A and B are shown apart, each in its own frame.
Chain A
Amino acid sequence: MLGKLTWSAIPFAEPLPLITSAVVLAVIGGVLAWITAKGHWGYLWREWITSVDHKRVGIMYFLLGLIMLLRGFSDALLMRTHLAMATGVNQGYLPPEHFNQIFSAHGTIMIFFVAMPLVMGLMNFVLPLQLGVRDVAFPTMNSISFWLTASGALLINVSLFIGEFARTGWLAYPPLSELQFSPGVGVDYYLWSVQISGVGTLLSAVNLVTTILKMRAPGMSYTRMPVFCWTALASNLVILAIFPILTACLAMLTLDRYLGFHFFTTDGGGSAMMFVNLIWMWGHPEVYALALPAYGVYSEVVSTFSSKPLFGYRSMVSASMAICVLSCMVWLHHFFTMGAGADVNAFFGIATMIIAVPTGVKLFNWLFTMYGGRVRFEVPMLWTLGFMITFVTGGLTGVLLAVPPVDFIVHNSQFLVAHFHHVIISGVVFGLFAGYTYWFPKAFGFRLHDGWGKAAFWCWFFGFYLAWMPMYVIGMQGATRRMQHYNDPSWQPYEIVAACGALLILCGVLCQATQLIVSIRNRDKLRDVTGDPWDGRSLEWSTTSPPPAFNFAVLPDVRGEEAYWGVKQRAIAQLQLDEAPAYQPIELPRATPIGVITAFFVSFAGFGMVWHIWWLVAASVAAGFVALATFGWRREDEFEIPAAEVARLDQDRRAIRTGALADVAPDRQEAAHAALALEVTDPHQLGHAGADTKPGVRDNGPASKTVVAGFGFWVFLLTDIVMFSALFATYAVLANATDGGPTSKMLFSRTTVGIETVCLLFSTFTCGLAFLAAKRRNVGVTQLMLALTGVLGAAFLSIELREFASMIAQGAGPSRSAFLSAFFTLVGCHGIHVAAGLVWLVSLAAQIATRGFEPKVQRKLLCFSLFWHALDIVWVAVFTIVYLFGTSL
């Protein structure tokens, strides 16, 4: 009934997890009881849980990240204090199997459930505001993405109370993570929580890329976007490129564990090294996906608090895009020692060093932005300066590690651990805290307390150095990573210093918690009345704090670089705002519980998979499917805010801004006049002049819904193809690993595959004709062609299933050899896509039958035809590489 789940899964005998569980459950229970007692559930449900507003979703992402930071950080404290004592006869207080779980959970949580949600939260909140639009491209999908991430986070935390977590390190290398060596549920918790949140992240990236490329205010051309938008674009492109690889890689490990496949096992011809190769193809760029948005935050902060335009805008943009592509070409430096030849190691070593160049460009740009400016040392600026000082040295140790012979000496040592904490804490965490302080007033309408913020910064800054510099030293002396106990007592002083550093960081965290409480209590004193607390330069500062649901009463008309700065100068010069626009009613997406409902069922499905409770999995998946299908039939997507309400809110904003103009100092007014007359004499104040390219050619504002939907789906399809490419690569590597079993020549029939191909080709043709007929609004022909497409697709599937069945009957099933595992997974994955397409097709045909050609149905048909045609492209690769190569080579 409950699969592998029994009472023994609850750690009654281990006091540490048990007490933690009790405390956490008590805290959660207390919070829930408080909410119930205060009667806040209705508000929470309406305004937050079901919200599709990008600002609310962004804040929830950030909150999730902060809570998980507490969890990840307490793991760190446990490890540091344990290691301060665990030498010689003293075994410390964490037994090895518990210590292993802690470092695995620490890494997994910090990357997937702290850094990722914090970064996603910032991007979600800021991007639409900076681009001058009302929401992201797909608001409902945004909510689904968030709740999937939350579901993954829930699952990984459940592992603390029920069962165990992986003991394999944060990347779960096989063969250790295979069933043979890790028979418990720990690795399964890892797989499902990461997989679920990974899908959420991927959807989020599709959303944000589409937002940046297709949803910009009128006149906001690419070269006028704030640098944060550019770095977010680069980061999300990286996510699109790599998360499908992670999905494929973890799916293969899952198949190994659940169905006895042989991708990465020690027997059956599997290759554990292929896992290492694939996971780092995700793992390395992932670091840049986290760091790039942080670079964007630093750019915004440096420019604002130096009261200057950013130096070298174009080089900043080029550097971000260069990092975006280069970061995908260096993954092998994580396994120089695995046995590749000098040629391969040298290539990836040099590629790694090259990344330091665009990063260096950025650093000089930030320095030159400060040069000649009037720098205000507010808290975000402190984090930024701390970053610049710390990151340079951290980057240098990275260049050192990129030299293969050096890497052979310090591989998997504390030196490496010190390096990546060095760059991630300074490069990502400091940036997130800078962004948190910088945009907090925009999100909540009051600033964070200054003194506590400064205290937090100094604690973190010095705490970091205390905690990690000693690790470089003992790393050089041979201390390995993930060690639970060491025999060399001379390392102990270093470990004690490191533990003190961790405690100092704890003081920083406590300062931050205090800062939040103090700020909320004193919010009236810290109130950001104007909506422009830092004298900002980009569009988010032109609206109120917090912004209204629609962000901008009228979409801003962007007429130059630093969109808001120009508007502000004009207002200051004339001592009045531009004329009030004509207000129109605004349509906004409706709140919907589909995100939280989907995640609810996905959590149960994940839990069922971990514990092999198959009925729970089946019921949850079915329920989730029904929920999504019902949602797909929804008609009322939007609600309208009447023009009068928009006008009322905007007039309040204008009154406050006009009031603020009364206090403008004469020298600022003079400067504004000079800026408007293009008579700026101070070279430091010159911007990059992202002018209109040609007269008459300017961006018209957000693209139509068809273009947004089509482009978003196109981007999603490309990620799907990247996932297939990981399966293709695995197949290519394992094609000869038959383990003495049948080879491709014995198994494949060219006739069968020929018939399958013809079916698919004709179905893609009929699908095209259906699309054409739908455009001409011919219901009969559309339905006929869709029916033909379905019949041909079904024929393809049934032939494929018969082929699979006969192979399995011959004893050539997927668990026979690595080659067959790869074959069934690749071809089967295509088959599953076809099956999903058939389900979609039936639902589309039903919608056309009942509703005719509404615009929404037309958009779905466009996406479906893209999907179906793309499946054909994948099939061309399948029949060539799998079947034709397999039968003729």
Chain B
Amino acid sequence: MTDHPTHAGHTDAAPGEEQDSFLSGSAGYIIGLLLALALTATSFWAAESGALWRPGVPIGLCVLAVAQMGIHLVFFLHITTAPDSTNNVLALAFGIIIVMLVVVGSIWIMDNLNANMMPMEQVMGMQS
């Protein structure tokens, strides 16, 4: 598939193009699907089951979700640490930093605002 010369140093791979490894071919997709299904099932079970310590459940769900995203990235999108996909991984890392800033930053700021400001009912009470 790759129409790029592989001799003489620097080469590049497009994201999504698979490299030769045990993940290549349909085996990679099958393993990926099985792992994804297993992680999804675990998530649903963890949310459903009463057997777990409830306050720990959200963290556990987040961990499972992140793990499943990793599985999708590796087995379906073929984003690996191979030297020829350095740019792809760096772009992903930059994207993750921004996503974390947006989500964590917003939640932190908005929670802090809510905690520091008068509750809305009280404001309404003052106006009437």
Residues of A within 8 A of B (CB): 213-214, 237, 241, 245, 271, 273-274, 277-278, 281, 325, 328-329, 331-332, 338-341, 343-344, 694, 696-700, 703-707, 709-711, 713-715, 718, 721-722, 725-726, 728-730, 732-733, 750, 754, 757-758, 761-762, 764-765, 768-769, 771-772, 775, 855, 858, 862-863, 865-866, 869-870, 872-873, 876-877, 879-881, 884-885, 887-889
**A869-B72 contact, Cβ under 8 Å, with A761-B33, A761-B37, A769-B29:** yes
**B117 an interface residue at 8 Å Cβ cutoff?**
yes
Q: Per DSSP, are chain B's interface residues mostly helix, strand or loop, or mixed?
A: helix
**B92 an interface residue at 8 Å Cβ cutoff?**
yes
| Residues in A neighbouring B8, C-beta threshold 8 A | 696-698, 700
| Residues in B neighbouring A730, C-beta threshold 8 A | 106
| Residues in B neighbouring A865, C-beta threshold 8 A | 16
The answer on a CB contact under 8 Å between A876 and B95 is: no
A357 → chain B closest CB, angstroms: 19
**B48 an interface residue at 8 Å Cβ cutoff?**
yes
Contact with A along B86-117 (1 / 0, CB 8 A): 01100110110111011101111110110111
Q: How large is the interface on B (under 10, 10 to 19, 20 to 34, 35 or more residues)?
A: 35 or more
Residues of B within 8 A of A (CB): 1-5, 8-17, 25-26, 29-30, 32-33, 36-37, 40, 43-44, 46-48, 57-58, 61-62, 64-65, 68-69, 72-73, 76-77, 87-88, 91-92, 94-95, 97-99, 101-103, 105-110, 112-113, 115-117
The answer on a CB contact under 8 Å between B94 and A237 is: yes
| Residues in A neighbouring B16, C-beta threshold 8 A | 710, 714, 771, 862-863, 865-866, 869
The answer on a CB contact under 8 Å between A241 and B94 is: yes
B64 → chain A closest CB, angstroms: 7
9 interchain residue pairs of minimum CB distance: A710-B14, A697-B9, A718-B95, A729-B106, A880-B65, A725-B99, A884-B47, A888-B47, A768-B29
Cβ contact of A328, chosen from B13, B44, B98, cutoff 8 A: B98
A405 → chain B closest CB, angstroms: 16
Additional A-B contacts beyond A706-B4, A865-B16 (19; CB < 8 A): A340-B109, A343-B112, A698-B9, A700-B8, A703-B4, A703-B12, A706-B17, A714-B16, A714-B88, A718-B94, A722-B99, A733-B106, A761-B36, A772-B26, A862-B14, A869-B72, A884-B43, A885-B58, A889-B58
Which residue of chain A has its CB nearest to the CB of B115?
A341
**A341-B57 contact, Cβ under 8 Å, with A722-B95, A732-B103:** no
| Residues in B neighbouring A278, C-beta threshold 8 A | 106
Complex-state Cα separation, A876 to B69, whole angstroms? 7
The answer on a CB contact under 8 Å between B32 and A765 is: yes
| Residues in A neighbouring B77, C-beta threshold 8 A | 866, 869-870
B33 → chain A closest CB, angstroms: 4
Cβ contact of B14, chosen from A711, A726, A768, A881, cutoff 8 A: A711
**A873-B69 contact, Cβ under 8 Å, with A328-B101, A698-B9, A703-B12:** yes
Q: Which of B14, B40, B58, B92 has the most CB of A within 10 A?
A: B14
The answer on a CB contact under 8 Å between B103 and A880 is: no
> 28 pairs across A/B with beta carbons < 8 Å?
A237-B94, A281-B105, A328-B97, A328-B101, A339-B116, A694-B9, A696-B9, A700-B5, A704-B2, A704-B4, A704-B12, A710-B15, A711-B88, A714-B88, A718-B94, A729-B107, A757-B40, A761-B33, A762-B33, A765-B33, A768-B29, A772-B29, A869-B76, A876-B69, A877-B69, A880-B62, A884-B43, A888-B57
B93 → chain A closest CB, angstroms: 10
B48 → chain A closest CB, angstroms: 7
Complex-state Cα separation, A241 to B106, whole angstroms? 15
The answer on a CB contact under 8 Å between A718 and B106 is: no
Cβ contact of B47, chosen from A328, A718, A870, A887, cutoff 8 A: A887
